Amino acid sequence: MNRATCLSRRQALQSIALFALGSGALTTLAAPVTLPSTESLAASLDQALRVKQPLVVMVSLHGCAFCKVVRENYLQPLRASGLQVVQIDMRDNRALADFDGTSLTHDAWVRKQGIKLAPTVLFFGAQGREVAPRLKGAYLPDFYGAYLDEQLAVARRVVAGT
């Protein structure tokens, strides 16, 4: 094999690696992005309302690819900017205190809310009331951010009392 052939193969492999990195194909090597869970929705809501923000709750399902996209690309950046965002998992038996203090599991809370689709994103204000329409499922990626921004704006207006 001559030097030109080795160079072109090396360049081809480098190009493939760069493409894979750029397209996110190798992101599975990185640590997964997670949202915090909560043991008490009332306590999480109190933290949100102290800074005059709604509580955002993502209902997720383990292994759900759409949940991963919503969590990593939309909700984690909002959380990083200071918004109170928590995750509740379908089919999870961890303990959870509802807004009224009732003790149940994550899965029981999801069923109580009538949620059958993951991801579902909910927005809560005072007394644990939903203050904006739920986002059910993962909309087209080109529009999901706009849908989320719209519902978050509605929720923020309700929480602010305007």
Q: What is the pLDDT along the chain (162 residues), one digit of tens a residue?
A: 544 444 444 444 444 443 344 444 444 456 667 899 999 999 999 999 999 999 999 999 999 999 999 999 999 999 999 999 999 999 999 999 999 999 999 999 999 999 999 999 999 999 999 999 999 988 666 789 999 999 999 999 999 996
25 and 42 co-located in one domain:
no
* Strand, helix or coil for residue 52: coil
Which helix (H) or strand (E) segment holds residue 121: the answer is strand 120-124
100 and 44 co-located in one domain:
yes
95 and 125 co-located in one domain:
yes
In angstroms, the Cα distances linking 139 to 118, 121, 145 are 11, 12, 9
26 and 39 co-located in one domain:
no
26 and 12 co-located in one domain:
yes
86 and 147 co-located in one domain:
yes
Which helix (H) or strand (E) segment holds residue 49: the answer is helix 41-50
13 and 40 co-located in one domain:
no
93 and 65 co-located in one domain:
yes
User: How many folded domains does the chain comprise?
Assistant: 2
**pTM of this prediction?**
0.79
- Range(s) of the domain holding residue 37: 31-160
Would you say how long the chain is, in residues? Answer: 162
12 and 81 co-located in one domain:
no
